[in-house]
């Protein structure tokens, strides 16, 4: 009697997960919640949601996990159930065809298996994907995990004739454990560099103005935006440079004058002007590149899933074409 009840429960569970209706409901839930998540900024500090939304809405976002949607139960549970549902349907279809000794048509089965592997790869990507941002100037070198070293050899910012940005190009050298892998590789916006399981993307650039000051002894000092030089009991903060494209020495240097630790006015100066005991000796412009380093452990799993999906679709179409000819 107990064995019959056990079989009855197992049969009910098997029938539940074999249901096409269940698949439809789960797909709708995943689609609907995914759409909602696109309207909510992801992976921000808790204080961000408290300031941006009302108390109830921010509490609801945090308690449901919508602030980190792809790692939340509201995404993982339906996706896990859909994975089980699809696995049972695939097994049931394959078992039925073998038992009936039906014509061998493995296209739909390969398609289902490919979809399962794609789901696994997607979950690995969502859970394990990491992103890092680095800013580099020419000659800078950074170390990456896996024994890789990246050196920026050159950076170019290309423009169209009307001044609009055309392309950003970071020419780098890639080494692994001291051995040169790529002597010279141009990373562009749509041309990332691959280093093991990482991809390095070109995403931004910045222009940094450097100011040179000299003291009465002729010693040269560098001043970067935001740095201050003392003037009596107060100071002057180097803010920016308005560059003269014809003659850089005629560019305008902007300072913020501090009195009692408060900015009281903006002061415009030029090369050769004096600030207390210092003289503005010149200026230079340095460009730096912004690179994004993405690690995706699910990349190859997703790739295998897509290949199997393609094969499954092709076989299904080919076999269907043969039936139509009959």
Could you read off the pLDDT of 209-252 as tens digits, one per residue? 889 999 989 899 988 888 988 888 888 999 888 876 666 667 88
Could you read off the pLDDT of 142-178 as tens digits, one per residue? 999 889 999 999 998 887 877 777 888 999 999 999 8
| Residues across the chain | 326
**Are the C-beta atoms of 294 and 198 separated by less than 8 Å?**
yes
In 3D space, the residue among 152, 7, 128 whose CA is nearest the CA of residue 71 turns out to be 128
What is the maximum span of the chain, computed from C-alpha positions, in angstroms? 103
3-state secondary structure of 122: helix
**Are the C-beta atoms of 283 and 290 separated by less than 8 Å?**
no
* Cβ neighbour number for residue 37 with a 10 Å cutoff: 20
**Are the C-beta atoms of 64 and 78 separated by less than 8 Å?**
no
CA–CA separation, 173 vs 194, rounded Å? 12
Burial group, residue 275, by CB count within 10 angstroms (0-12, 13-18, 19+): buried
What is the model's pLDDT at position 287? 84
Alpha carbon separation from 49 to 39, 45, 141, 234 (Å, rounded):
13, 7, 37, 39
**Model confidence, pTM:** 0.58
* Cβ neighbour number for residue 268 with a 10 Å cutoff: 10
**Are the C-beta atoms of 27 and 95 separated by less than 8 Å?**
no
Q: Which residue has the tokens 């061998």?
A: 104
CA–CA separation, 198 vs 217, rounded Å? 51
Per the structure block, which two tokens stand in for 245? 């494209």
Q: Which residues are within 8 A (CB) of 160 and not within 5 positions of it... i.e. 6 or more apart?
A: 166
CA–CA separation, 97 vs 132, rounded Å? 49
Q: Which residues of 128-149 are buried (b: 16+ CB within 10 A; e: fewer)?
A: eeeeeebebeeeeeeebeeebb
**Are the C-beta atoms of 312 and 114 separated by less than 8 Å?**
yes
Rama region for 240: left / alpha / beta (φ>0; ψ in -120 to 50; rest): beta
Per the structure block, which two tokens stand in for 101? 């000794």
Q: pLDDT (tens digit, 0 to 9) for every residue of the chain, 326 residues total?
A: 545 555 678 778 888 888 889 988 998 998 899 889 888 988 888 888 988 899 899 999 999 999 888 788 898 899 889 889 888 888 887 777 777 665 666 777 788 888 888 888 877 887 788 888 999 989 999 999 889 999 999 998 887 877 777 888 999 999 999 899 999 999 998 899 998 888 999 988 888 888 999 998 989 998 888 898 888 888 899 988 887 666 666 788 899 998 888 888 899 998 889 988 899 988 887 888 999 999 888 888 888 988 988 888 888 877 776 665 54
What is the model's pLDDT at position 3? 54
Rama region for 231: left / alpha / beta (φ>0; ψ in -120 to 50; rest): beta
């Amino acid at each position: 009697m107990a064995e019959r009840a056990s079989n009855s429960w197992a049969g009910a569970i098997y029938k539940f997960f074999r249901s096409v209706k269940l698949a439809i409901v789960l797909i709708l839930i995943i689609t609907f919640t995914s759409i909602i998540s696109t309207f909510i900024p992801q992976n921000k500090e808790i204080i961000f949601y408290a300031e941006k939304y009302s108390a109830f809405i921010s509490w609801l976002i945090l308690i449901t996990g919508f602030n980190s949607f792809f790692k939340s139960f509201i995404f993982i549970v339906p996706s896990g159930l859909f994975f089980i549902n699809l696995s049972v349907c695939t097994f049931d279809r394959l078992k039925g065809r073998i038992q009936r000794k039906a014509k061998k048509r493995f296209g739909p089965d390969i398609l289902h298996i490919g979809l399962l592997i794609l789901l696994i790869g997607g979950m690995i990507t969502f859970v394990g994907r990491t992103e890092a941002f680095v800013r580099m100037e020419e000659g800078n070198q950074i170390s990456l995990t896996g024994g890789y070293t990246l050196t920026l050899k050159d950076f170019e910012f290309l423009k169209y004739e009307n001044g609009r940005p055309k392309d950003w190009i970071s020419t780098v050298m890639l080494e692994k454990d001291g051995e040169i892998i790529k002597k010279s590789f141009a990373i562009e916006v749509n041309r990332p560099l691959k280093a093991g399981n990482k991809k390095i993307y070109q995403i931004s650039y910045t222009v940094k103005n450097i100011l040179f000051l000299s003291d009465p002894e002729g010693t040269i000092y560098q001043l970067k935006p935001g740095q201050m030089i003392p003037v009596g009991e107060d100071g002057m903060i180097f803010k920016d440079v308005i560059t003269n494209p014809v003659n850089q020495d005629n560019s305008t240097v902007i300072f913020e004058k501090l009195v009692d630790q408060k900015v009281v006015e903006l002061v415009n100066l030029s090369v050769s002007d004096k600030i207390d005991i210092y003289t503005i000796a010149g200026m230079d412009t340095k460009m730096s590149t912004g690179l994004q380093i993405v690690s995706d452990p699910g990349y190859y799993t997703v790739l295998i899933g897509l290949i199997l999906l393609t094969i499954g679709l092709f076989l299904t179409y080919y076999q269907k074409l043969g039936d139509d000819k009959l």
